[in-house]
Amino acid sequence: MSLTILKLPSSLLLLAFLATANAQKQNGEECTCFRTNGHSSGYFTSHRFHDFRNVQSGGDIPDLITDATNSSLVGATSDFFLGDAWTSDWTIQSWTNADSRADSDATVLMVNSPNNVYIETSTDNDSSYSTYLTLRTARLADFQSAAEFDSTEQNFHHLSARFLARVTGSAGACAGLFTYLSSSPVQEADIEILTSGPRNRVQYTNQPSLNKHGDVETKATVNGTQDLDWSEWNIYRMDWMPKMTSWYVNGISVANISYHTPKDPAGLIINMWGDGGSWTGEMEEFDRAMLNIQWMEVAFNVSGDYGGKSKRGVDGEERMGWVERRGLEKRKSKGCEVVCSLDEDVNVTGTPALLYNNTGMGVLGWKEGTGAMGWLPVLVVGLVGFGWL
């Protein structure tokens, strides 16, 4: 599906939106920008919401594939991952660390497999969801089988990303949600959970977190210990803003780092992995660990056309066959005429609440430099390029 939003009249834009935004139930179709709360609050032009709580294609957990080559080459675990709702925003990865092991302390071959990304039927005693998304990593005889999916959009330029998630399983794995730009030095804003660590510890980092001598930059990372258990469901939020990255868990601020805040446009990555190195530790053979996700929501701005460089430094349109999107071009904006909130007065998770409609009343002030991203199929028209975009 290809959308060239700016060339369509408003009536057709509304129809196109209604045809694709099946997760949006009330005020989202009116929104021209999205507001977040907290000390890292900002306004954003786009929003997505992906809901995995009641997916009809949920089923049996796929058996592990014990051959490294076959594990990498296997197809998607269900039709859910072949539909536009998924493929327009995400690509499941199948790369390995074979070429990079010599430059790291990894002790085992790691293979990302589409077989480790699947919709799982819940056995929890909770009627609010019947399924969830699972990313699995497992130690096999000859390799570590891992899971990762990357955003198709590689030009996010500031965002607020949230997901309701838990981590279970054996020591020797890392669950991550982070921005990534393929550059040197690397630029990242990370949430990482190590299964070998205490269940109340989550690491929040702006990368690079090591200096040129390999020593830890203490100003770049927070090893947060909170009143939580990461094996239970928690809402993790990361706000990447121009001057600082901020993190929240269940609505409570847990870390704020201004040192090494990413500056350049980037993609978003979610993964569950291990390589036997010093960071993750080594998983026992035949053990496994899982990252479960009920939903993901992001509000965001972008720096230019859909695309950019992929995580592996390959042009995304060549490697991934991305859907083309146009929008957010540099031109004067009408401002935030219809403002919706991701946090205030929200009655339905994933459905932004209408705060106020300023249509015909002049331009609202814009908090310069803020950016965001969401997880509802919303492509905002009318805010197509604030001065900094």
- What average pLDDT does range 218-237 have in this prediction? 91
94-109: per-residue pLDDT in tens? 999 999 998 899 999 9
Q: What is the pLDDT of residue 360?
A: 60
Quote the tokens at residue 83: 């539909």
Least confident of 60-64, 166-170, 303-307: 303-307
> CA quadruple 241, 245, 247, 252: dihedral positive or negative?
negative
- What CA–CA distance (Å, rounded) separates 18 from 15? 5
**Closest by alpha carbon to 379, among 25, 33, 11?**
33
Quote the tokens at residue 385: 């390029």
pLDDT at residue 151 above 50?
yes
Quote the tokens at residue 65: 């594939």
pLDDT at residue 237 above 70?
yes
Quote the tokens at residue 7: 């060339």
pTM for the model stands at 0.81
> Quick one: what percent of the chain has pLDDT higher than 70?
77
Contact 47, 28 (CB under 8 A): yes
pLDDT at residue 54 above 80?
yes
Q: What is the pLDDT of residue 177?
A: 98
DSSP string, 51-103: E-TT-TT-BPPPPPP-SHHHHHH---SSGGGGSHHHHTTEEE---BSTTTGGG
- What CA–CA distance (Å, rounded) separates 229 from 231? 5
pLDDT at residue 221 above 80?
yes
Q: What is the pLDDT of residue 161?
A: 98
Identify which has the larger pLDDT, 267 or 30: 267
Average pLDDT, the chain: 81
Quote the tokens at residue 167: 């981590």
pLDDT at residue 32 above 60?
yes
- Give the confidence band of 258 by pLDDT, cuts at 50, 70, 90: very high
pLDDT at residue 203 above 90?
yes
User: CA dihedral in degrees (289, 314, 81, 53; nearest 10)?
Assistant: 50
- Give the confidence band of 322 by pLDDT, cuts at 50, 70, 90: very low
CATH number given to 50-320 = 2.60.120.200
Q: What is the pLDDT of residue 246?
A: 98
- Give Rg (Cα) of the chain: 20
pLDDT at residue 5 above 90?
no
Q: What is the pLDDT of residue 335?
A: 64
- What CA–CA distance (Å, rounded) separates 236 from 69? 34
- What average pLDDT does range 100-122 have in this prediction? 95
Residue 72, C-beta contacts closer than 8 angstroms, at least 6 positions apart = 94, 95, 96, 111, 112, 113
CA atoms within 13 A on the CB side of 200: 4
What are the φ and ψ backbone dihedral angles of 36, each rounded to 5 degrees? -110, 160
Q: What is the pLDDT of residue 326?
A: 24
Q: What is the pLDDT of residue 20?
A: 33
Contact 381, 32 (CB under 8 A): yes
**Closest by alpha carbon to 201, among 164, 221, 227, 220?**
227
- What CA–CA distance (Å, rounded) separates 148 from 94? 8
pLDDT at residue 28 above 80?
no
175-197: per-residue pLDDT in tens? 999 999 876 778 999 999 999 99
Identify which has the larger pLDDT, 368 or 354: 354
Q: Omega of the bond prior to 208 within 30 degrees of 0, cis?
A: yes
- What average pLDDT does range 62-67 have in this prediction? 98
85-96: per-residue pLDDT in tens? 999 999 999 999
Quote the tokens at residue 387: 């001065």
CA-to-CA separations, 138 to 64, 71, 202, 274, 289, in angstroms, rounded:
8, 12, 21, 8, 6
CA atoms within 13 A on the CB side of 100: 10
Least confident of 151-155, 291-295, 320-324, 366-370: 320-324
- What CA–CA distance (Å, rounded) separates 182 from 315? 11
- What average pLDDT does range 305-316 have in this prediction? 42
- What CA–CA distance (Å, rounded) separates 294 from 31? 24
What are the φ and ψ backbone dihedral angles of 384, each rounded to 5 degrees? -95, 50
Q: What is the pLDDT of residue 361?
A: 52
Contact 223, 201 (CB under 8 A): yes
- What average pLDDT does range 233-249 have in this prediction? 97
- Give the confidence band of 214 by pLDDT, cuts at 50, 70, 90: confident
